[in-house]
Amino acid sequence: MTTFDPYAPSRDTTEGTVYSVTGGDWDSLVQEIGSTKEERVVVNMGPQHPSTHGVLRLVLELEGETVTEARCGIGYLHTGIEKNMEYRSWTQGTTFVTRMDYLGPLFNETAYCLAVEKLLGITNDVPERASVIRVMMMELNRISSHMVALGTGALELGAISPMFFAFREREIVLDIFEMISGLRMNMAYVRPGGVQQDLPAGAIPKIRDAVKLMRKNFKDNTTLLVGNSIWMKRTQGIGYLDLAGCTTLGITGPVLRSTGLPWDLRKVQPYCGYENYEFDVITADTCDVYGRFLIRMNELEQSLRIVEQALDKLEKLEGAPVMVADKKIAWPAQLAVGGDGMGNSLDHIREIMGTSMESLIHHFKLVTEGFHVPAGQVYAAIESPRGELGAHIVSDGGTRPYRMHFREPSFNNLQATSAMSEGGMIADIIGAVASIDPVMGGVDR
């Protein structure tokens, strides 16, 4: 390089010349590379990059435009959630886990709570209404999560309109979450023993309207993308990973189902009463990005079916409890959504502050100290939008977890990046990573 270029300064190292591209102008870099005889280029992509699906760093070795090696660098979003939870009570844990995979907060909470309930031995004592609400919330969450996967995946491949439609639908779901829990994301709504509070009045008709609206709206994205020749050229035969690759890499979720294997924990190892719902496990047999895209599109309709069945069940269970009867576990605060979000209900505050000292003591003990969980270890797994989300929890009998570990599907599935993209074109890595749909909050925890 003869003159200093503010867009692509270079320096020589033992590994060769290193260029730092900071501006949007790649022309000078391309010119510079064109003048060298070396065909092999190592490109560092991310962690701050609009196409890497979050703070994911990809280190790519290229021969021309062909990727010869792809490696992931992760850990940029590590927040020590597992360690922190060892210092918080079992109930406080839900506020931590909900922030891991931030697109599927209800799945994190449910996996955690199912594990805690298994440790407590109260799996069968969780009221039916609570389980039905969990299922309904999870399926709505699956829709919003798949919407982000489809919208950002399409955006990363250069299609902007699908993202607008996808985020429009996601907004409908987030509004429902806000109505029910007071929060749009990270709601800590599912609690050990049940859910934090019952549905507000008038929720069921509103959700029914939303389901109708979403069913109508989904067609916009379907007509845009399914069978779209540009979309198919960018996704068909890309990111290939067959069944043997999936099993050895421990891949689950839509990527596994795109190999034709109908493996869905909701069907094969039901939890929260999923055996009582009618729905189909969607598969594809193409093992590619297009297959995974079709699976996500069709799972939206299945989720809507489950939500409708859940709403029917909820109408029959009107007034039933949403928390275990055991007052040693159930959170004493009677929460309510007020004008400024969720908090203790005024009636409850009046009772503990004004009339019953025992209630105040009970409330104080349970909220500050928490409940004891018998010693032992369990593993509870659920089908999150990205695959098997497992919670491995060890208790020493105390009021706080002894060890928490989450088997995050994003973390595990991201390992397939190399297998999916090596030997392909650099532009196809984006599609392959988007089809894994990693959420870096979950990967790094």
d(CA 424, CA 331): 53
398 near other proteins (CB under 8 A): yes
User: Could you say which DSSP state residue 199 is in?
Assistant: P
Stretch that binds other proteins, among 1-9, 323-331, 339-347, 377-385 (CB under 8 A): 377-385
Residue 235 beta carbon to other proteins: minimum distance, rounded to whole angstroms: 24
Sequential DSSP letters for 5-28: -SSS-EEEETTEEEE---SS--HH
Q: How far apart are CA 77 and CA 100, in angstroms?
A: 10
- Please, which of residues 282-301 interact with other proteins by CB under 8 A? none
Name which position in 18, 23, 42, 78 contacts other proteins (CB under 8 A): 78
Q: What whole-number distance in Å separates Cα of residue 367 and Cα of residue 317?
A: 29
Is residue 17 at the binding interface for other proteins, with CB under 8 A as the rule?
A: no
**Minimum distance from residue 85 beta carbon to other proteins (Å):** 10
3-class DSSP state for residue 435? Answer: helix
Select from 15-23, 182-190, 328-336, 374-382 the region that touches other proteins (CB under 8 A): 374-382
Does 399 help bind other proteins (rule: CB under 8 A)? yes
Please report, in angstroms and rounded to a whole number, the separation of the first and last CA atoms in the chain: 42
Task: Look at residues 264, 320, 224 and name the one whose alpha carbon lies nearest to residue 142.
Answer: 264
Residue (of 342, 398, 390) closest to 97 by Cα position: 390
Interaction between residue 183 and other proteins (CB under 8 A): no
**Residue 372 interacts with other proteins (CB under 8 A)?**
yes
Is 375 an interacting residue with respect to other proteins (CB under 8 A)? Answer: yes
Exactly one of 1, 95, 167, 402 binds other proteins (CB under 8 A); which one?
A: 402
Q: Report if residue 394 touches other proteins, rule: CB under 8 A.
A: yes
Distance CA 77, CA 408 (A): 14
Q: Which stretch binds other proteins (CB under 8 A): 124-132, 312-320, 338-346, 401-409?
A: 401-409
For other proteins, which is the closer residue by CB, 148 or 432? 432
Contact (CB, 8 A) for 81 and 96: yes
Nearer to other proteins by C-beta: 151 or 385? 385
Subset of residues 203 to 242 that bind other proteins, contact rule: CB under 8 A? none
φ, ψ of residue 62 in degrees (nearest 5): -120, 145
Under the binding rule (CB under 8 A), the answer on residue 262 touching other proteins is no
User: Which stretch in 28-36, 314-322, 393-401, 424-432 sits in contact with other proteins by CB under 8 A?
Assistant: 393-401
Vertex 331 angle, CA 330 and 332, to 5°:
105
Distance CA 399, CA 285 (A): 47
36 or 415: CB nearest other proteins: 415
> In angstroms, rounded to a whole number, what is the distance separating the alpha carbons of residues 252 and 327?
38
Among 286, 412, 421, 435, binds other proteins (CB under 8 A): 412
Residue 300 identity: L
Task: Please check whether residue 21 is in contact with residue 49, taking contact to mean a CB–CB distance below 8 angstroms.
Answer: no
For the segment 120-159, give every residue that binds other proteins (CB under 8 A): 121
Q: Which stretch binds other proteins (CB under 8 A): 38-46, 117-125, 171-179, 212-220?
A: 117-125
Q: According to the binding rule CB under 8 A, does residue 345 interact with other proteins?
A: no
Helix (H, G, I), strand (E, B) or coil at 370: coil
Stretch that binds other proteins, among 3-11, 328-336, 409-417, 420-428 (CB under 8 A): 409-417
Q: Would you count residue 9 as binding other proteins (CB under 8 A)?
A: no
Contacts (Cβ under 8 Å, ≥6 apart) of 418: 69, 70, 71, 72
Stretch near other proteins under the rule CB under 8 A, chosen from 10-18, 40-48, 321-329, 400-408: 400-408
Residue 214, H or E segment: helix 203-225
CB atoms within 10 A of CB 361: 11
Q: Which amino acid is at 144?
A: S
Nearer to other proteins, 41 or 394 (CB): 394
Determine if 99 is a binding residue for other proteins (CB under 8 A). no
Cα distance between residue 344 and residue 196, in whole Å: 11
Helices 128-156 and 161-181, axial angle in degrees (round to 10): 160
The residue from 185, 298, 405, 427 that contacts other proteins (CB under 8 A) is 405
* Count of residues engaged in binding other proteins, rule: CB under 8 A: 51
Chain residues that interact with other proteins, rule: CB under 8 A: 74-75, 78, 80, 82-84, 86-88, 118-119, 121, 247-252, 261, 263, 268-269, 368-369, 372, 375-379, 381, 388, 390, 392, 394, 396-400, 402-403, 405, 407, 411-412, 414-415, 444-445
